[in-house]
Amino acid sequence: MSSTPDIDALPKVMGEDGTFNAIDEDIDLSGTPIEAWAALLFFWALGLTVFYQFFTRYVLNDSAAWTEEIARYLLIATVFVGATIGVAKNNHIQVDFFFRFMPPWLSRGMALLADVLRIAFLGAAVLLTGQMMARMENYKMTIVDLPMNLVYGACLAGFAAMFVRALWVMRIHWRRGYSVLERPESTMEDR
């Protein structure tokens, strides 16, 4: 018995008349969180800035000096705002090896402790970033005459969004009675 599929039984992509007959599924962006759109906006601004830098350097042979600095700051904003998506999906790096060998009561306690420590860390990051912004309110960017607090503001917004999402994740873990550390096969959509 052969394990190869019958070619005639498979759906045909090319019709008899030579037309392409594939139908794409509808795209649903309704579940895309606001921080994903913000990260996408920063990413596109970064891409356009880098393209402008490439164009002025290699096509016009007169590089725009401001593009490197602005690209660096847009990358920072993309990372900090985009990290919120990882917190919301609860898919940052984690070690669940030991959770397989712990008794359920200890596993639950450790998962709860992980949620509390994440919230505490992100809350402290929000406070410290705010304090740093207050102390550096008169600092300007090196080439572009803009305040450095724009950059730190993006970091603060990212930390604040991560803090709120971490609270949301802990609430979901509390309501359903387990976290992804206890059941690695679960996702945030499993409610």
- pLDDT tens-digit profile of 109-126? 988 999 999 999 999 999
The three-point CA angle 150-48-79 to 5° equals: 50
| Residue 117 identity | L
Mean model confidence pLDDT for the chain: 87
Helix (H, G, I), strand (E, B) or coil at 125: helix
The three-point CA angle 114-116-122 to 5° equals: 100
Let me know: does 42 contact 81? Beta carbons within 8 Å. yes
CA neighbor of 116 nearest in space, from 56, 68, 51, 181? 181
Least confidently predicted of 52-56, 99-103, 133-137, 179-183: 179-183
| pLDDT at residue 33, rounded to an integer | 87
The model's pLDDT over 142-175, given as tens digits with 9 standing for 90+, comes to: 888 888 999 999 999 999 999 999 999 999 989 9
- The span from the CA of 10 to the CA of 147, in Å, is 61
- The span from the CA of 116 to the CA of 118, in Å, is 5
CA neighbor of 109 nearest in space, from 165, 168, 174? 174
pTM: 0.79
